[in-house]
Structures are given as structure tokens and as C-alpha cells.
Structure 1
Amino acid sequence: MEDIEDLLVGAGSAPPGFRLPITSSVGINPFNKKKLDPSSLVLNSSSNHVPGTQTIFLKTFGCSHNQSDSEYMAGQLSAFGYAVSDNAEGADLWLINTCTVKSPSQSAMDTLISKCKSAKKPLVVAGCVPQGSRDLKELEGVSIVGVQQIDRVVEVVEETLKGHEVRLLNRKTLPALDLPKVRKNKFVEILPINVGCLGACTYCKTKHARGHLGSYTVDSLVGRVKSVVNDGVKEIWLSSEDTGAYGRDIGVNLPILLNAIVAALPLDGSTMLRIGMTNPPYILEHLKEIAEILRHPCVYSFLHVPVQSGSDAILTAMNREYTVGEFRKVVDTLTELVPGMQIATDIICGFPGETDENFAETVNLIKDYKFSQVHISQFYPRPGTPAARMKKVASNVVKKRSRELTSVFESFTPYNGMEGNIERIWITDIATDEIHLVGHTKGYVQVLVVGPESLLGSSAIIKITSVGRWSVFGDVIEILSNSNDLKIPSDEKENCNTERRSPCSNQEDTCACSSEKPEPCACESDACKSNDCNAIPDSYPETQNNQNTLNDSSLLQRRKPSPATVEKEENSNQKLVTRSVHDGGWGLLDTALLGGIFMSLLTIVALVLYVRS
């Protein structure tokens, strides 16, 4: 029996962000000795703790679904006046959004909680850890927001700042999609299409937190897509614990949703759709329909399909509900039907019972397809899961296998042969080196180009000049402006290629990375390629943060432009505007203005002659 409950009953909850009286909206920990004074619910103008004036430190662990939840929480807090920051030291309260997939993620969370308590800062913990393991000792005396309670984070923060311990964990309805949101990248919308899943993988703890499948309606998702497109979003990432299972609880399916979303996207291809991770069992039923959608000009020809092991025996022990042959059918069909198709996958090394022969089957599978992206993880037993009770493989063997598979994967050269190709890309971010802009081809190949920050959010035609292991490099030929092609004048094109001059003479792969040494990974992985161990690839229950995410999307981070850069961009933009006006000839407005000036001169002359006479 739980000692803390959400006391709201039925559908009588308040609108998102609305502050209800604490006695009817939030369950208070009965073990907290502090009594609530009803008068404290009415703000006193002379109070030194006026809600909405504090700074909140927000830290996110885990998958893109967690990132979306954090963006929603940040949006609501900002809407109520709170400043959301990534600086822990100067914050008045810490809000930690947690991941329960692996032990390293939870260990990093534990460390952060200890630091917060040592600093005597008010603390709120959100995400999968408290939802799936609410009785953890580390969570004693801590306020909690459940995964389906993110629309009430303002209430929890305000009560925690007053010194109360608040826990919201129970709910049967999904948070609204139209809550205020502060995106980490203003050009990318992470759109959750469902929560939970239908699977019962023996190693997965996320099901304990996210629960059974719950899907948003097609109309609500299409409405959200239209809204974010109007906001200027250029990429929409569909997110869930299993995209392929979407709609099975409400009588629809993934192809129905995807066709409805694609119909709502701009016809000029200025906004692209990226389909999230899907497990093989459900996509098998819709392979041809999915392939047709992936061929659409507004959809990236990219899909994340986790296999986890190349051995049927291990897949059975994992309760993955498919065979290696079925996974191969997914990959082969999509590769055959979709030009330029790119598929990412996941592998867990050292699952209980994995023999050398089982592991060899996994290595052979990866060698057969030479995937451009493979997320390699060591097995971590999660408390409360069936796999945690299975006989474990020796840790030194697990690490050895992880290193071996990583070495095999890194030997691939997936982008060889792309030199000289002309591609359309969508530019949405800045590389860590603060020199290159980051775009993606339709196949979601990462392209690094040199140009002004004003190109962010645009689409461009580029020529690939060289390839690396994790990315390709290109020169901008043409910037596409909505449905019209805006060709770059020769001097402007020169500016695009020199504005962010690379310090590397031969544009090797290292140019895209920060020159500083990366921080040690909390995952204790064998080959962490990311400068940010908490970078969020499109990975879900099986592949969360703090893993060997071996792709260049983990190299990205944004920075604030310097005043000089902003001024330079404004001047650059002004040049383009000026040219477009002069190149357009005499328009109706120009003629009217000239006529007005001429009539004014005639009037002045007439007045002068009249005065003299």
C-alpha cells in the first residue's frame, strides 16, 4: 500500500498549470512533520518567497521522451515566471528528470541528489526512477513528480520551495500536448505519440515506470504538428517507448497516424518528420506501408530498429517476441523499398546466459549489415526485473565483448563513396567545435558545413566534399527558402564558406569535435564517443543515455552567438534583403512612392509661385 497518493478523483483536475488548493490537488507525505497552514496558500505581498521569482536548475537523464518531458516542465515553469537554468550553483531549487534503464544512469542521479542535499537545496525528482522505484532510500524526504504528472510541476515546485515534501505519482490520463514548452533546440520538436508499451522484456525497468500502452489520438497529434510548424519547427521527432505499437489501444495504427501527420506538413519540404524507435514485432505488420511513408519527401529515410542480439536463444531469454530472421526481414525490406535507407540498431552485450557462440552470432549480424549507427550497451541488471535473477555473465567477459563489438563497428566506413554527391540537407544545430553547422540528408546522414548562424532552420543544397567515420563534410551551393530557391550571390557564397573557417587543413573527422578532452563517462563504457554523456540520441527503453552511442548526433550542442556574430549576421541578412529588392525591378509600391514624391514637388513649386505673386 502506498503511503502517498494523488487525491484528485475523476476528471475534476485543474487546467494545466492552474494552482489548486494544496489539500485537494497534492498528496502530502504524512511522515513530513511540517503541518500545512491554510493561510500559507494565500500569497502575502510582503513575503520574501514570492512564487515565480526563483531560479530552477533542470537536469535531464535518459531518452528523447524524457527530454520532451523536461521541455514541457521548463515551459510551464517559465510561463509562471521561474528562470530555468543549467547552472546548479546559483539555483534556488534543483529539478532532476531521471532514467531507470541502467545502473549508471541511476548512480549519476544518486550522486546529484547527494550533492543537492549537501548543498541544502530544495529538490524535486521527476521521471522513471521515482515512478518505477518509489521506495528508494535516496528518495526519502524528496518531492516527486510522476511521468504522467508533468503538467503539475509548478504546484510541486512551489510547495517544495515552501518546505513541504510533495509526491504526485498516480494518474490515468495523459498530459496534454498543448502545454507550454521550452525546446532545447527551437528547431526540433520531440513529440510523444504514446507512453508505455505492450512488451514484457525481461531486462526492462521502463515498463514499471511508463506502464502499459497509452496512445494520444490522431487528431491531437496532428493538431500539435500544425501548431509547432507555425512556431518555426523544422524537424519533428516522433517519440515513444515503442513507436510501432502506437494506436493499438485506441483502434488505429502507426501508418494511419503517419499519413495524417505527413498531410499536415508544409508542401515545400521545409519541415521534416523523423519516426522514432520501433521494435520488430509491430512494424512487421506494416512494412510496405511504412516503406511508402519513408519514401515521402518530408520524411527522413531513417529508422531505429533495436535487435539487441543476433542469437534467437538470447532473444527468447529477453522475451523480445521476434527472431533474428524477422529482424533481417525488416531491414532487407526497408532497404530494398526505400532509396538511401539508413537503419540504426541496438545491441546488449553480456545478457545472462550469453555464450561465446551466441555473441559470435551477434557479431556476424552486425558485420552482415554494417549499420552506420549501433548503440552498444553492456547488460545492467535492474532490480525487480526477471533478468536480474538470471545467472550473470562474468563482468570481465561482458566488457571484453563490448570492446570487441565496438572495434568491429568502428571498422566500418559507411559513408565512403558519397564524395561529390549533391544532397539537400536540413540545418538545425551547431557542432561542438563552434565552427560547423549541422544538417542531415534525407537518409539522416550528418553533414557538417561552414556558414553563418543565420542558416540555422533553413534547408540547403550542398556538395559533399569529404567523408569521415561519423559525419560527412559539405559546401553550401544553394539555400532553399520555403518553396522558392534563394540562390546565394557569389560574394555571399564566399562568406558562407569562410564565416566559420576550420582550423583543420584537411577537414578530418576530429574537426567536428571539441578539442577539449571529454568528461569521464558515468557509464564506465569502453568507448564513449560523446563529449556529453547525457546527449540524447533517438533511443528508448533499451538504449538510454550513458551508453556507447556511436554516432555524431552526440557531438552536438548549441551556444549563444556573440554580439559580434549577431551583428555580422544581421549585416549579411540585410545584404540579401537589399539585393532581393533591387533585383526585383519597379513594383507597384515603388511607382506609387515615386508618384507621391513628384506630386509633392509640384505642390511646393505651386505654393512658392503663389506666394511670390
Structure 2
Amino acid sequence: MEDIEDLLAGSGGGMPPGFRLPAAAAVGVQQNRKKINFNIPKGSLNIPGTQTIYMKTFGCSHNQSDSEYMAGQLSAFGYVLSDSPDEADLWLINTCTVKSPSQSAMDTLITKCKSAKKPLVVAGCVPQGNRDLKELEGVSIVGVQQIDRVVEVVEETLKGHEVRLLTRKTLPALDLPKVRKNKFVEILPINVGCLGACTYCKTKHARGHLGSYTVDSLVGRVRAVIADGVKEIWLSSEDTGAYGRDIGVNLPMLLNAIVGVLPSDGSTMLRIGMTNPPYILENLKEIANVLCHPCVYSFLHVPVQSGSDSILTAMNREYTVCEFKKVVDTLIDLVPGMQIATDIICGFPGETDEDFAQTVDLIKGYKFPQVHISQFYPRPGTPAARMKKVPSTVVKKRSRELTTVFEAFTPYTGMEGKVERIWITEIATDGIHLVGHTKGYIQVLVIGPETMLGSSAIVKITSVGRWSVFGEVIEILNQQNGVTYEISGEKYPHSSNLDSCSCSKELGHCACETTSCCELVQEIERTVSVPKNDPKLTDQSGPKLIGWILRKRKINSYKMENGDMLEFEGKQEKTSASMAGWNPVDKVLLGGVVVSLLTSLALSLYLGSTHFEIM
């Protein structure tokens, strides 16, 4: 075949406005001209865009965003995306090179695809960082900065050609078509690559040196996704804190520009992505100020990796434990309700028992609500892969020990009875609850109709678990419609002060010192009447209504079986068998649905019989 790089020859050069060339040159691979025999429906080969594609994504949120962009382009061109690999005409695997298990899973999937003789395209960090892998022989490849060419690669692969695109001179545009995994969440890459040189990291080999999008291009994307109904924007990159250093700007400048275009009612929230300590240290107060903003989650992921300075030096992490503590202490001190997540690598080469003990002490000292614990995996081509390894039995033992320490924490104790604003974006994996997050990005599980997805709500925390808390919805916030809510028989107008009060609120006190919302909160009781004029709650016909009733029934049964303690009017009471049954509202709602269905069925039978007699 012709070199696919020539397919767009003459289409015009130049850099798209708002995008930068990464400092390090990308890796180029010549095209393979041989044809591969696949089991492809003959009729579909002549009609590009009629085939079905199975996509599988491994790795970080940046990878997820890349997959969403590729899915958007393929879908826009007419391809059908399927969750079933057996039904697909082509497989597209977006890979991750951070850990051995994810790459092993990729290898297994590639083997299955080849055995099924399905056309295959591999994208992501694995082929970009290690293009000579034996597993990638005979496979088409899309580089991490070539995702805007995925349609071409798929077309050629379906024709039986092996195509490899790994060379790039500009960053992919941000306004490409996109199919989000969660329509309410936009994962926005702000830069690619990083400035670090960690001895264990393979991602740098794939993503390269730092390359940042301009502030204007990112703000433009934020405006567009808000207009599209997005309720959460996640800033993503290999190191958010390093943003802009290649183009003469910094992270606070970007954050302030984005915050300036977020809706003032707090309907869309911003989440700042993973930030390494070296680059946040210079702008701690500015970033803390942004984290205090009502439209920004008071949450940050700051990896420490080890509590030992000697190990941090071996990792080439470019900071000390003391500097990490300064980041954490400053943010906790300046940002009300601040929540920090961190990462730990157990068993890095040279780690002694004393080094590990220092890590345990660090985690015990801060009792982080989220700690991502992983064992050290030597990645081929990295300096750490050549270092003397800690025995695998010791690595596993330390990982289990640290996990036990972490899981003993109870980070959400004391939240019972608090009133919080949450943003609801998805259905929990149990199929029962809806998932929302507080301003501190604490996961709150609530019961409610699916029409609440994408909304914000005021909830009272009823109980806490190890990984999340449970809440009862008090009010659905819908400022634009001016809805009046009926609470315990009294009608209250929607409170704009309550909207802007994004701090955690205990009854009778608001950290934001807004008294009007506190006065309203004090009137709230457990029983809430559904507002009749709220379209989000009144439109519950058909399957949505039945699903809501069944979810409520299921959670009541679950509470009875597990003997949960429920807080009611300030007292802890044991869940009784009667509580697990159908309450009067459930019975009336379900009865109405059943009567309607029976009436419709009887009417259909009657009309059918009448028609038969006339004939």
C-alpha cells in the first residue's frame, strides 16, 4: 500500500491555532506494505463506515479521553461501536504501559484477537513506547498523538493492510468529535508528556517531553462542553502541575481562566488532575485559592510514592518527604474540607525495612482517605529495571501490610448528620444507588430516580462506610427553573445562597458564614415531599418509575438482611422487618402502574375482538 502519511499530502500544512509542538521529537515508523488475511465480511469492505468496532481501554484518564476522541471520530464516520468483541468486525485496544499486569492483559487480548482472525488496531502508550514488541507484529498501530487519524488506520486495516502511525508534529485538536463514557463528565487533556525523569516510569518513553495546549484553546473547549451539558470537567495529564512551562504560562493562570467561564450556579464542577510535588510547590497558595472556589472540587491527587528520602532519590522524584508534607499541610490549612489522595510503590529496588517503615508512618500520620498502593514492576528500558530487586515475597508482604494499615482508617467518621451539596453523575455498580460527590469529592450514595443524573442536590448524610457515605436527598437544585420545593409541608423558594454555599455544613453552622442557608437547613426533616412542578422528578413514567421503585425495594431488603443501623430523628435504630417491606407510597405507585398496564391490555384485547367480529 502507499504510505498512509501521503494520504493527506497537499491538504495544507501549518500548526492549528492554539496547539504546540512537544519539545522532544516523536518516534517514526515506516509503513508495512504487506497484506494480512482477516475474516472480514466481503460486502463490508467496499463500504467504509458500515462495520462494527469493539474498543477496550486500559490505563489512566488521559487514555480514557483518547479513547473517547477515537470513538467519536469513528462514530461520526458511521462505524458502530459495540461492547461485544465477538460481534465486532475490528478490535481497537488502547493500551497502558505503567504496570506489567495491564500490559499482560493487553497481550492476552491481542492473542485472542489474532486467534479469531479479527483485524486489530493497537493504540496508546505500549506501541508508542516500545514499537518492537513481538506481540505487535502484524498489527496496525495508532500513536498517542495520532488519534485524529484513527479513521484512516481503521479503513486501511479493514482492507488487510498493516499501518503504523507514530510520528506527530502537532498535538491533536481538542474539538474533535467525542463519545464520552459518561456524558456528564469531560476528561480534558491539558498537556502531554512531562518534565520528570523517574527511574521506574515507562510513560515518559511514550508520551514524551512536555507539550501544553494554550489557555485559550482549553477555555474554548470548556465553554463548548458546558454548552453540551457536561457537569464535571476533569483536567488530565501526566503531570498537571507542570502545565504551561513550555509555553510561558502556569497552572494557576489556566485554572483561573477556566473558573472564570464556569456557571455561577455551581452546576458544573472542575476537578484538578494528578500533580507531582515539585511543580505545585512554587504555586501552592494560588492553587489553594482556586481549590476554595465553589465550582472547584477541594480534592487533589499528589503522589508521594515513598516515605523515605533515600528511595525518593533512587526514584529520581526531585522532592523530599518534607517537601511533600509541606504541600499537604499547606493545602489542608488553606482549603476547608480538603481531601488528598496519594500513591505508594512498595518494594522499589533497594527499599529496606526501615525505608518501608517510614512509608507506613507517613500514611498513618495523615490517614489519607485514598491511597493507591502498587507493587514495584520493572518496566523494560527503564533505569530501575536494571537495579537490584527486592525479593517478590517481601514486596507482596509489604503491599499487604500497607493495605491493611490503610483499610483500618475510618476517614468519614463524624459526617453523620451533616448536610452537603453533591453533584450526581452516575449509577453505582450495585444498580441500587446513584453516585454523587461532595465538594471534597467524597463519594455519596443516594436513592433516587435516574432523572437525577446530571443534577446537583442537597443531602443529609445518614451513615458512613469505609469507601463512601450514604445520604438522603433533601432538595434537588434547579436554579434556572425557579422551582419551589415542598419540605415537611412547608414551601421554600429555591435558595441561591444555598447554591453558593459549597462548604460542608453541619446543622446550625456554615463554614462559609452564610446564615440564610443555615436557617433553611435547620428546617429540613427526614421526610421530603416530591415537588409537583419539578420536571426532573415528575417525569417518572414507564420503566424509569418501575426502576426507581425496584431500587428502593432492593435497598430496603438489603438493609434488613444486613441489619444496618439507620439514623432517624437523632437516634440509632435497628432496621426492622417492616421497614424492608413496601411502604405506602411504593404500593400506590406500583399499583397505579399495574392498573394502567392491565387496563391497556384489556382495551387492546377488546378492540382486537371487535375488529375480528366486524371482519
Q: What TM-score, normalized to structure 1? A: 0.77
Partner of 1:252: 249
**Residue number among 187, 190, 201 corresponding to 2:187 in the alignment:** 190
User: 1:546-592: per-residue Cα shift (whole Å, max 9, x none)?
Assistant: xxxxxxxxxxxxxxxxxx99x99xx9xxxxxxxxxxxxxxxxxxxxx
Partner of 2:404: 407
User: 1:90-139: per-residue Cα shift (whole Å, max 9, x none)?
Assistant: 00000000000111111000000000000000000000000000000000
Give the C-alpha shift of residue 485 in structure 1: 6.0
Partner Cα separation in structure 2 for residue 321 and residue 15 of structure 1? 33
Give the C-alpha shift of residue 265 in structure 1: 0.3
Matches within 5 A, 1:214-613: 214-483=211-480, 486-489=483-486, 490-492=528-530, 500-501=551-552, 502=555, 503-505=557-559
SS in 2 for 1:500: helix
Question: 2:184 aligned with 1:171, yes or no?
Answer: no
Give the C-alpha shift of residue 487 in structure 1: 4.8
Give the C-alpha shift of residue 500 in structure 1: 2.6
Give the C-alpha shift of residue 507 in structure 1: 9.7
Q: 1:487 to 1:250 in 2, by over 3 A?
A: same
Q: 1:482 to 1:179 in 2, by over 3 A?
A: farther
Partner Cα separation in structure 2 for residue 236 and residue 91 of structure 1? 31
Partner Cα separation in structure 1 for residue 262 and residue 303 of structure 2? 28
**Contact 1:237–1:274 (CA under 8 A) maintained in structure 2:** yes
User: 1:345-370: per-residue Cα shift (whole Å, max 9, x none)?
Assistant: 00000000000000000000000000
**Contact 1:451–1:498 (CA under 8 A) maintained in structure 2:** no
Unmatched segments (≥5 aa) in structure 2: 17-27, 487-527, 538-544, 566-588, 597-615
Q: 1:510 to 1:373 in 2, by over 3 A?
A: farther
Partner Cα separation in structure 2 for residue 463 and residue 498 of structure 1? 21
**Residue number among 59, 62, 72 corresponding to 1:62 in the alignment:** 59
Partner of 1:29: 31
Partner Cα separation in structure 1 for residue 183 and residue 317 of structure 2? 36
Partner Cα separation in structure 2 for residue 257 and residue 210 of structure 1? 21
Give the C-alpha shift of residue 29 in structure 1: 3.0
**Contact 2:15–2:170 (CA under 8 A) maintained in structure 1:** no
AA partner of residue 12 (structure 1): G
AA partner of residue 200 (structure 1): A
Give the C-alpha shift of residue 85 in structure 1: 1.4
SS in 1 for 2:98: coil
Partner Cα separation in structure 2 for residue 33 and residue 428 of structure 1? 45
Give the C-alpha shift of residue 433 in structure 1: 1.2
**Contact 2:96–2:125 (CA under 8 A) maintained in structure 1:** yes
Question: 2:158 aligned with 1:161, yes or no?
Answer: yes
Partner of 1:89: 86
**Contact 1:478–1:486 (CA under 8 A) maintained in structure 2:** no
Partner Cα separation in structure 2 for residue 509 and residue 278 of structure 1? 41
Partner Cα separation in structure 2 for residue 312 and residue 440 of structure 1? 34
Question: 2:104 aligned with 1:116, yes or no?
Answer: no
Partner of 2:47: 50
Partner Cα separation in structure 1 for residue 304 and residue 481 of structure 2? 42
Question: 2:196 aligned with 1:142, yes or no?
Answer: no
Q: What TM-score, normalized to structure 2? A: 0.77
Give the C-alpha shift of residue 34 in structure 1: 7.3
User: 1:262-312: per-residue Cα shift (whole Å, max 9, x none)?
Assistant: 001001000000000000000000000000000000000000000000000
**Contact 2:35–2:160 (CA under 8 A) maintained in structure 1:** no
SS in 2 for 1:201: coil
AA partner of residue 387 (structure 1): A
AA partner of residue 422 (structure 2): I
Partner of 1:545: none
Q: Give the total of aligned pairs.
A: 496
**Contact 1:57–1:87 (CA under 8 A) maintained in structure 2:** yes
Partner Cα separation in structure 2 for residue 100 and residue 141 of structure 1? 20
**Contact 1:447–1:472 (CA under 8 A) maintained in structure 2:** yes
User: 1:15-42: per-residue Cα shift (whole Å, max 9, x none)?
Assistant: 99xxxxxxxxx9873452579xxxxxxx
SS in 2 for 1:152: helix
Asked which structure has the greater RCO (Cα within 8 Å, sep 6+), the reply is 1
Which is worse superposed, 172-181 or 490-499?
490-499
SS in 2 for 1:296: coil
**Contact 1:450–1:498 (CA under 8 A) maintained in structure 2:** no
